[in-house]
Structure 1
Amino acid sequence: MTAQQATIPFSDLEVLAESEIEEFHAIARLVVFARESAALLDAEQTVYCLNLALEQIARELRHRSDYSSDMTSYFNDGITRQ
């Protein structure tokens, strides 16, 4: 936790958590885009690594108790394309 986060009032922690989750969603979308581009280039190792990245993002979101339905399709697509 950074010094700035340590001084945030308790009521703002929920807003901070939502912001972090939104950032993870943005990262997931970027990884999906990169994976699709790599697949078009037949870069199998890169696709594999990006699938691993998506799995880690999914784990982190589950760890943070985010069960957002709009991200489920990204993760399912990544697992089935390996």
Structure 2
Amino acid sequence: MPAAYATIAVNNLDVSTESEIEEFHALTRLIVFAKENAALLDAHQTVYCLDLALEQITTELRHRDDSSPDIASYLQDVICRQ
């Protein structure tokens, strides 16, 4: 966790959590984009590593109890393509 988040006041916890989840959403989109491009380049090892990254983000979002429909569709599309 970045040092900036470590100093957030307790009463600002919900805002912090929402911000972190938004960042995870952005990371998910970035990783999906990179994975699709790596697949086009036949970079199998890279695709595998990006799959692992998506799995970890999914785990983290479940842990944070995020059920945003936009990211759920991204992750579902990735799972269907495998």
Q: Same fold (TM over 0.5)?
A: yes
3-state SS of 1:65 partner? coil
User: Runs of 5+ in structure 2 lacking a partner?
Assistant: none
3-state SS of 2:65 partner? coil
Count of residue correspondences? 81
Aligned counterparts of 1:36 and 1:56: Cα–Cα separation in 2: 18
Superposition deviation, residue 3 in structure 1 = 7.7
Partners of 1:51 and 1:79 within 8 A in 2: no
3-state SS of 1:66 partner? coil
Aligned counterparts of 1:7 and 1:66: Cα–Cα separation in 2: 20
1:60 corresponds in structure 2 to: 60
Q: TM-score of the superposition, structure 1-length normalised? A: 0.84
Q: TM-score of the superposition, structure 2-length normalised? A: 0.84
Percent identity between matched residues is 63
Q: Which has the larger radius of gyration?
A: 1
